[in-house]
Amino acid sequence: MTLQRWFTALWKSRRIPLSLLLLTRQPVRLAVALAGISFAGILMFMQLGFRDGLFDASVTIHRLFDADLVLISPRSTSSVSMAGFPRRRLVQAMAAPEVEGVTPVHWNLLLWRNPETRGTRSILSLGFEPSDPLFTDPSLAPKARLLTQKGRVLFDEQSRPEFGPVAQWFKAGRTVESEIAGKRVRVAGLVGLGTSFGADGNLLTSSETFLELLPNTPPGSIEVGLIRLKPGSDALAVAQRLQAQLPPDVSVLTKQGFIDFEQNYWRTSTSIGFIFTLGAAMGFVVGCVIVYQVLYSDVSDHLPEYATLMAMGYKLTSLLGVVAREGLLLAAFGYLPAYAAGQGLYWLVRSATQLPVFMDTTRAVTVFTMIMVMCMASAALAMRRLADADPAEIF
């Protein structure tokens, strides 16, 4: 009730919307400002979208694993350079009462020969015991049985087209054979995993086949050990205990820790994060310059009018408020087209690159905040011009 009365009072005490009228009665200037803000917004959406999309894509595979804890070698730096550790550590970990099951995984980049063009390209290959669970997706298990035969692989149909028309051929009923590391393999089935930063394509095979393709692998060495815990176990506590019990030649990570480990590599050890963040910052700066220019010349053009208002008895602060509201309105009006264009461009990127670039709330809010800061900072700078409005000079 009081709130309603408050709103009524607020509504009754409203004034001429000077900021809105200043903007809308100068359509060309408004269009320039909105184009600039939208451009800056689109640039920020694209750069941040690419950055987050790339980081997200770097862990496509990591997310799929059926594991609560993951063992890796401390010498591993990322999915493209995984080091080996003794498989025994996984067996030792099974001694912990919470552990329900384990899956040793071989992990390496191998050279795949395109069956059509005969060119070779690195493909991320995982080797596991076909009877062990690997991914949380239950549809893998029946396909994994096909791998018990030697020299059979499951090919990721979302791999980039450079690996050859494997999926089309396979679906058309053809027997697809190719070479990996110089050895003949046959595609036994298709899986849908998704490409990532480090891997343009993925391949699953049995440990046996994997070792045959890479005969130099030291015996008993694996790159990744998946550990599944009994329901209700505290993964973090078990991870810490195992880390303390096991020799220092393994790192015990939670599944999220394994995802973070990979993302952290791309974030910190490569310039990707920096480049895209810099790109977004460029958009921010360009936007600032444009909004500042527009608001500054707007204030300059209307200086005698502002001086008149001061002579009439309007407070300087209420005139500063006019400029501030102009900034707010520009931010709001400029964001909408940027958001719409962002959605469209993300769709384009998704269909062209298979990168998982989506308009998520965090980024939408981030860009909105950036545009808001951009407009308000520019408005604050343009306000300094108002100090030149001297009502004594207008007579």
Partner 1 sequence: MPIPRRSSDVTPTAAAIQIHELSHWYGSGSMRRQVLQGVNLTVAAGEVVLLTGPSGCGKTTLLTLVGALRQVQQGSVQVLGQDLAGAGRRERQQLRRSIGMIFQGHNLLRCLSAEQNVQMGSDLLAYLSYRARRDQAREWLRAVGLGDELHKLPHDLSGGQKQRVAIARALAAQPKLLLADEPTAALDSKTGREVVELLRRLARDSGCAVLMVTHDPRILDIADRLVRMEDGRLQEAERPTLVTQA
Contact positions vs partner 1 (CB under 8 A): 11-16, 18, 21-22, 25-26, 302, 304-305, 308-316, 391-392, 394-395
Nearest to 224 by CA among 79, 336, 321, 120: 79
The C-alpha atoms of residue 16 and residue 23 are separated, in whole angstroms, by 13
| Nearest distance in Å: CB 322, partner 1 | 11
How far apart CA 12 and CA 124 sit, in angstroms, is 67
Give the residue with the Cβ less far from partner 1, 314 or 333: 314
**Extended beta strands in 132-201, E state:** 152-156, 177-180, 183-191
Name which of 161 and 304 has its Cβ closer to partner 1. 304
Which residues are bridge partners to 221 per DSSP? 86
Non-local CB neighbours of 6 within 8 Å, separated by 6+ positions: none
- Find all residues with CB under 8 Å of 187, minimum gap 6, and list them: 152, 153, 154, 155, 166, 170, 176, 177, 178
Dihedral angle of Cα 278, 280, 285, 287, to the nearest 10 degrees: 160
Q: Which residue's CB is nearer to partner 1, number 5 or number 15?
A: 15
Nearest-approach distance from CB 7 to partner 1, in angstroms = 13
* Closest distance of CB 12 from partner 1, Å: 4
Shortest Cβ 378–partner 1 spacing (Å): 20
Is the CB of 303 or the CB of 372 nearer to partner 1?
A: 303
Q: How far is the CB of 337 from partner 1 (least distance, A)?
A: 23
| Both structure tokens of 17 | 């919307």
Rounded Cα distance, 210 and 222, in Å: 11
CB of residue 335 to partner 1, shortest distance in Å: 23
Nearer to partner 1, 21 or 31 (CB): 21
Pick between residue 95 and residue 312 the one whose CB is nearest to partner 1: 312
